[in-house]
Amino acid sequence: MSGPDTVRRTVDTVWRMESAKIIAVLARTVNDVGLAEELASDAAVAALEQWPVDGVPDRPAAWLMVTGKRRAVDRIRRDQNLKTKYQHLAGRLEASGMAVDPIAEAEAELDDDIGDELLRVIFCACHPVLSPEARAALTLKAAAGLSTAEIARAYLTSESTVAQRIVRAKRKLESAGVTFEAPGQGEFAVRLDAVLEVVYLIFNEGYTATGGHDLMRPELCQDAQRLAQRLTALVPDQPEVLGLAALLDFQASRTRTRVDSDGELVPLPEQDRSKWDRLLIRRGLAALHQASAWGDDAGPYRLQAAIAACHARAARPGETDWVRIAGLYSRLLNVQPSPVVALNRAVAFGEAFGPQSGLDRVDEIADLPALAGYHLVPAVRGEMLERLGHKESALAEFERAASLAYNERERARLTQRAADLRNTI
């Protein structure tokens, strides 16, 4: 017999490591991700009840899978709707439940190459019929091995909210007729984009936490990194997947330095680069290098990763290759036109080709409605004007920027900037 605490820890560990595979195999069997996830969760509950009495089985993951399959048979027998839906399956499932050694069979299934099935689980969980919140929750649950409680903690919401979100997502998949199939060729690129977006949003939820006291929730960042890494193995022929994996690694490499002891964000040039995580930078650079085999026609994640790599490579801010960054921003603007990208491009042009070039780029976009009231527009203009020696105009821009800034620290920084400049006039 094992103590309930030991059992819980074992179940948690097995669940974290193996649940995605168990769900993938079950989904292949019942042809439904939602049902597969429920069956696997039921099996984990059964483990919590049985293992303290019977002891932890030698092959816990295979045990969960066999139990999941038995549950499937029970449910199909009991539920008239499921009976009709899975008529063809019940017999087969029962037969596999009566195999000479179901555990050995389940273990063999777990050892099979189930990459395709895993990928299909992720595609289903990130299906466009679902809301962004539902996609993230279902992906973390079905593909990343998080419990409902862990997802709730990560998103600062209640367990019941997450549970409901997942139930509704499954219903939605069912009512929309989403089957356990990989997207067809014509659809593949769009659906993969949706998957990458979900992973990126999960990362950002942890990186720039939108709610709560902590500015970052590193566990969630790590879950997203893990998903991105998994995807690079599941879809090895897609450079954007490598680009996303690299981008997340570069961003995560700065986790230790991007927030100061007061919990305030530290801008890139002021970060202590000696504390950047060299291992993640190395892994990111390797992924980016691997992606370069597909040539120069890079998508948005690869381009953003390439920009982040320029910063990662520079041991000091002064060594940053701004000419390269400026070129990368121009390409990024082409594939992903957005006012914020355009503004970043202007900053890069200012660093690479001098303040007049930067100012010209800002002025091209300063009147865009999307940038109206955005404090960084006057802040960047002020920066360029000051470097051009137009102190009076620069002062006015910094004052305007300070009045628009919504973050206290940013406002203080800009006010100080204006005060310093005023003293020199």
**DSSP assignment letter at 98:** T
Q: At what angle do helices 239-252 and 218-234 cross, to 10 degrees?
A: 160
Of the pair 228, 379, the CB lying nearest another protein is at 228
Cβ-based neighbours of 198, under 8 Å, separated by 6 or more: 125, 126, 132, 135, 136, 139
Query: Among 135, 283, 311, 375, which residue interacts with another protein (rule: CB under 8 A)?
Result: 283
Query: Among 83, 275, 289, 422, which residue interacts with another protein (rule: CB under 8 A)?
Result: 275
Of the pair 55, 263, the CB lying nearest another protein is at 263
Q: Minimum CB separation from another protein for residue 202, in Å?
A: 13
CB under 8 Å, gap of 24 or more: what pairs does 42-45 form?
42/67, 42/68, 42/71, 43/67, 43/68, 43/71, 44/11, 44/15, 44/19
Does 279 interact with another protein (rule: CB under 8 A)?
Answer: yes
Does 217 interact with another protein (rule: CB under 8 A)?
Answer: no
Of the pair 234, 388, the CB lying nearest another protein is at 234
Query: Among 171, 256, 289, 422, which residue interacts with another protein (rule: CB under 8 A)?
Result: 256
Q: Minimum CB separation from another protein for residue 56, in Å?
A: 12
Selected range binding another protein among 99-107, 228-236, 302-310, 417-425, rule: CB under 8 A: 228-236
Selected range binding another protein among 185-193, 204-212, 231-239, 376-384, rule: CB under 8 A: 231-239
Query: Among 282, 289, 313, 422, which residue interacts with another protein (rule: CB under 8 A)?
Result: 282
Query: Among 129, 233, 315, 340, which residue interacts with another protein (rule: CB under 8 A)?
Result: 233
Of the pair 284, 300, the CB lying nearest another protein is at 284
Rounded distance, CA 332 to CA 242, Å? 17
Cβ-based neighbours of 197, under 8 Å, separated by 6 or more: 126
Does 13 interact with another protein (rule: CB under 8 A)?
Answer: yes
Beta bridge partners of 265: 259
Query: Among 2, 16, 360, 411, which residue interacts with another protein (rule: CB under 8 A)?
Result: 16
* Number of amino acids touching another protein (CB under 8 A): 24
Residue recorded with tokens 């993230």: 136
Give 411's Cβ-side CA count (13 Å radius): 6
Residue recorded with tokens 């649940």: 19
Does 228 interact with another protein (rule: CB under 8 A)?
Answer: yes
CA distances from 61 to 43, 227, 379 (A): 10, 20, 56
List, as one string, the DSSP characters of 138-204: HHHHHTS---HHHHHHHTTS-HHHHHHHHHHHHHHHHHTT--S-PPPHHHHHHHHHHHHHHHHHHHH
- Picking from 305, 180, 323, 184, the residue whose alpha carbon sits closest to that of residue 240 is 305
Query: Among 28, 48, 94, 115, which residue interacts with another protein (rule: CB under 8 A)?
Result: 115
Does 9 interact with another protein (rule: CB under 8 A)?
Answer: yes
Rounded distance, CA 410 to CA 416, Å? 10
Of the pair 119, 365, the CB lying nearest another protein is at 119
Query: Among 59, 153, 168, 226, which residue interacts with another protein (rule: CB under 8 A)?
Result: 226
Q: Are 262 and 214 in contact (CB under 8 A)?
A: no
Does 222 interact with another protein (rule: CB under 8 A)?
Answer: yes
Cβ-based neighbours of 202, under 8 Å, separated by 6 or more: 136, 139, 140, 220, 223, 224, 227
Does 225 interact with another protein (rule: CB under 8 A)?
Answer: yes
Q: Minimum CB separation from another protein for residue 153, in Å?
A: 13
Selected range binding another protein among 10-18, 47-55, 295-303, 346-354, rule: CB under 8 A: 10-18
Does 356 interact with another protein (rule: CB under 8 A)?
Answer: no
Does 12 interact with another protein (rule: CB under 8 A)?
Answer: yes
The contact set with another protein (CB under 8 A) reads: 9-10, 12-13, 16-17, 115, 219, 222, 225-230, 232-234, 256, 275, 279-280, 282-283
